[in-house]
Amino acid sequence: MSITEVLTVLFPHLADVCVERVSLVGRSVRIRARTRAVEAICPKYGHTATRVHSRYERRLCDWPVAGQKTILHLQVRRLFCRNIGCTKKTFAEQVPGLTVRHGRRSARLTEALRSIALALGGRAAERLAGRLVSTVGRSTLLRLIRGSGRSTTTDTPCAGDR
């Protein structure tokens, strides 16, 4: 099995990025990657952009591999929007299924933490997430529940409701 096949099996969500290096540093797996896309879509008006303003590195926590914390060092571009009327002159590209604006966790890890939080709630979810995934506070887990858009209650009528 080639290294590319191993990466595809272990990290299927990294299909849209070019993995440049994987290393073990202490008790964490570090992945250096960059985006593959030639163009990106402006989040404001949906126009495609190819003109690069700058590049920078984002650090995202990802799902652990073999019990090791995984940190993704992802080089992304900041692009100029082509639409003259757009109020966002520049924007950062996002990798679908991997990154979200201002996110510090991969979409996969965020969804796992949200599921744990929905199932267990604050303190219990904090303990389980700390053992399975990564150290995360109960307040963060509760924020994930609030931001999920899912209802944690059922539509069961209460006494006094008509």
Q: Is 123 part of a structural domain of the chain?
A: yes
Does any domain span residue 159?
no
Distance from C-alpha of 22 to C-alpha of 142, rounded to nearest angstrom: 32
Kindly state whether residues 43 and 78 are assigned to the same domain. yes
- State the maximum Cα–Cα separation within the chain, in Å, rounded to a whole number: 65
Q: Are 3 and 53 part of one and the same domain?
A: yes
- The residues, ordered by sequence, that sit 6+ positions from 157 with a Cβ below 8 Å of its Cβ are none
Report the pLDDT value the prediction gives residue 146, as an integer from 0 to 100: 86
Within a domain: 124:
yes
Give CA–CA dist 90/47, Å, rounded.
12
Mapped onto helix, strand or coil, the DSSP state of residue 114 is helix
- Structural domains in the chain (count): 2
Q: pTM surpassing 0.95? A: no
Domain that holds residue 6: 1-95
Do residues 67 and 130 share a domain?
A: no
What SS3 state is found at 123?
helix
Distance CA 128, CA 134 (A): 9
Looking at residue 67, what is its pLDDT?
83
Domain annotation covers residue 60: yes
Q: Cα–Cα distances in Å, from 41 out to 16, 31, 83, 95, 160?
A: 15, 25, 11, 11, 50
pLDDT at position 86, please? Answer: 86
Q: Is residue 137 part of a domain?
A: yes
List per-block mean pLDDT (blocks of 10 residues) for the chain, which spans 162 residues. Answer: 76 86 91 92 89 95 88 95 88 90 90 91 88 84 78 52 54
